[in-house]
């Protein structure tokens, strides 16, 4: 499908109204991923539809609970913020699950980060300098590549430590340089916020050297 | 509106790790992938897993020997990577026994529906409804927002399916021109991650 055909057949509207066949969907997706005009149309119409549905749901909720209409917005926001922290911790606190393989040594507590051995061949030496925050969403198990550098091999151990924005350490994993080469860092659900992974090398004489800092944002 | 095109230079910057190009790339395709995936995948958690895997593979392939030959096809490239990841995920999903629910992110369908619906967007849509002719606003609300039966409401309002497409298009134009101005907003200002000054540099 080319752009002229997409516009002429109102493909964006038909796509969102679920009027396209499977073949047409594939063709249009192939097109709009490349075409910023069509992708903007899809995005804006999605905003209209989702915004409208959300608006209707909000109105229905307000109709069911008229008292809520009287709650000042600031108080409602405050209530929401408090509720976020008093919801049972089993649902909110990251239950970090250790996925330990035979090479990694992970601390057996709630703040464990998992290291998963990655069997695929990844050219990590060309991986970018981690100056850009990695965006990670909060509500699922996430993995991202643990950046590896040639300098890691001069150390006897590599420590990967996650700190939150207050500097509190949320978890530490110790691994061998070999494992650091092919591993991914696995994070299970975490609170939204800014974090940083600090990677340090430990020499045979016990001296620690900071190798890298990788900021990431949980949204 | 101003629209840009992907090109070899964009891909080069992406491959070289240019920060702003990466942020633009992630924000742009995050939304498109969400739109594509939510009609095929049940949970927001799974959508995010797939998205992350797509980005990992795209970056890996861009930095590999073959890479991408034509920068203009970056979007289609991302789409095809997504199709592959989705196919693998579907196979795995069918084979995998469901784990203890407490271990999983319990998918709430409204999470997917609410992904694009901030308070600001709702308010804009409310204003768009006020700008449309009453009949059009009523149709939009009944069919698109309240998800009433399309055929029944088409008969009731005396319109046909092509009219619904035109109406959606018109609502989008109002939404866009009234509130977004004439510049394509990629990324939207509230999507750009801001550095946390409390983090150590």
What would the pLDDT profile of A59-71 be if each residue is shown by its tens digit?
Answer: 888 887 655 445 4
Binning pLDDT at 50, 70 and 90, where does residue A156 land?
confident
Strands (E), A55-168: 105-106, 114-117, 134-136, 142-145, 157-164
Both tokens of residue A42?
């899809």
Q: What is the DSSP letter of B186?
A: S
Q: Does B13 touch chain A (CB under 8 A)?
A: no
What are the start-end ranges of the H helices in A102-188? Answer: 177-182
Residue-level pLDDT at B178: 62
Helix, strand, or coil (residue A94): coil
Q: Answer with the residue of higher pLDDT: A203 or A173.
A: A203
Q: Does B19 touch chain A (CB under 8 A)?
A: yes
Residue-level pLDDT at B54: 92
User: Cis peptide before B187, with omega less than 30 degrees from 0?
Assistant: yes
Pairing, β A183-187 against β A142-145: antiparallel
Binning pLDDT at 50, 70 and 90, where does residue A190 land?
low
If contacts are CB pairs under 8 Å, which of residues 82-101 in chain B contact chain A?
none
Q: Does A2 touch chain B (CB under 8 A)?
A: no
Residue-level pLDDT at B34: 92
Report ipTM (2 d.p.). Answer: 0.77
Which residues in chain B are closer than 8 Å to A2, comparing Cβ atoms? none
**Are residues A129 and B145, on separate chains, in Cβ contact within 8 Å?**
no
What are the start-end ranges of the H helices in chain B? Answer: 8-15, 19-37, 44-62, 74-95, 109-113, 119-131, 134-139, 150-157, 161-179
What is the average pLDDT score of chain A? 66
Burial, A12: exposed, middle or buried (Cβ in 10 Å; 0-12, 13-18, 19+)?
Answer: buried
What is the average pLDDT score of chain B? 77
Rg over CA atoms, chain B: 20
pLDDT, tens only, B71-90: 889 999 999 999 999 999 88
Pairing, β A134-136 against β A169-175: unpaired
Both tokens of residue A15?
């796509």
Instruction: Determine the longest span between alpha carbons in chain A, in angstroms.
Output: 71
From A65, A184, A169, select the one nearest A119 (Cα to Cα).
Answer: A184
Binning pLDDT at 50, 70 and 90, where does residue A148 land?
low
**Are residues B140 and A52, on separate chains, in Cβ contact within 8 Å?**
yes
**What is the C-alpha to C-alpha distance for residues B55 and B63, in angstroms, rounded to an integer?**
12
Binning pLDDT at 50, 70 and 90, where does residue B44 land?
confident
State which residue of chain A sits closest to B138, comparing Cα positions.
A52
pLDDT, tens only, B108-155: 555 666 677 777 788 888 888 888 888 888 888 888 888 888 888 888
Q: Answer with the residue of higher pLDDT: A129 or A170.
A: A170
Q: Does A123 touch chain B (CB under 8 A)?
A: yes
**Are residues B125 and A52, on separate chains, in Cβ contact within 8 Å?**
yes
pTM: 0.56
Q: What is the mean pLDDT of residues A128-145?
A: 46
Residue-level pLDDT at A184: 57
**Are residues B56 and A189, on separate chains, in Cβ contact within 8 Å?**
no
pLDDT higher than threshold 60 for residue B196: no
Residues whose CB falls within 8 Å of the CB of residue B125, separated by 6 or more in sequence, listed in order? A47, A48, A51, A52, A55, B175
Residue-level pLDDT at A107: 29
Contact B106, A139 (CB under 8 A): no
Which residues in chain B are closer than 8 Å to A57, comparing Cβ atoms? 110
């Amino acid at each position: 499908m080319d752009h002229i055909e997409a516009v002429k057949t109102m493909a964006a509207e038909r796509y969102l109204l679920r009027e396209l066949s499977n073949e047409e969907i594939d063709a249009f997706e192939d097109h709009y991923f490349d075409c910023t005009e069509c992708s903007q149309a899809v995005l804006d119409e999605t905003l209209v539809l989702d915004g409208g549905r959300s608006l209707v749901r909000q109105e229905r909720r307000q109709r069911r609970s008229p008292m809520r209409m009287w709650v000042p917005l600031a108080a409602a926001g405050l209530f929401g913020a408090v509720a976020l922290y008093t919801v049972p911790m089993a649902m909110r606190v990251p239950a970090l699950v250790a996925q330990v393989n035979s090479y990694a040594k992970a601390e057996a507590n709630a703040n464990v980060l998992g290291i998963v051995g990655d069997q695929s061949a990844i050219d990590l030496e060309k991986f970018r300098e981690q100056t850009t925050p990695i965006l990670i969403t909060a509500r699922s198990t996430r993995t991202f590549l643990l950046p590896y550098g040639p300098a890691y091999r001069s150390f006897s151990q590599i420590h990967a430590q996650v700190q939150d924005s207050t500097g509190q350490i949320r978890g530490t994993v110790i691994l061998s340089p070999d494992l650091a080469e092919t591993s991914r860092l696995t994070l299970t659900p975490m609170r939204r916020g800014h974090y940083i992974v600090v990677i340090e090398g430990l020499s045979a004489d016990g001296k620690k050297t900071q190798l890298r800092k990788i900021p990431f944002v949980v949204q | 509106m101003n629209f840009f095109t992907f090109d070899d230079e964009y891909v080069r910057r992406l491959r070289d790790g240019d920060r702003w190009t990466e942020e633009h790339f992630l924000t742009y395709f995050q939304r498109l992938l969400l739109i594509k995936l939510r009609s095929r995948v049940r949970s927001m958690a799974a959508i995010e897993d797939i998205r992350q895997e797509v980005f990992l593979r795209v970056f890996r392939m861009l930095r590999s020997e073959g890479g991408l030959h034509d920068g203009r096809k970056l979007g289609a490239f991302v789409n095809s990577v997504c199709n592959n990841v989705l196919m693998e995920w579907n196979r795995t999903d069918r084979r995998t026994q469901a784990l203890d629910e407490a271990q999983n992110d319990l998918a709430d369908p409204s999470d997917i529906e609410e992904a694009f619906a901030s308070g600001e967007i709702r308010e804009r849509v409310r204003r768009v409804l006020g700008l449309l002719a009453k009949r059009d606003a009523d149709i939009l609300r009944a069919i698109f927002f309240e998800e009433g039966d399309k055929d029944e409401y088409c008969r009731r309002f005396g319109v046909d399916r092509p009219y619904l497409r035109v109406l959606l298009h018109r609502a989008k134009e109002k939404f866009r021109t009234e509130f977004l101005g004439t510049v394509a907003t990629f990324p939207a200002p509230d999507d750009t991650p801001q550095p946390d000054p409390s983090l150590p540099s």
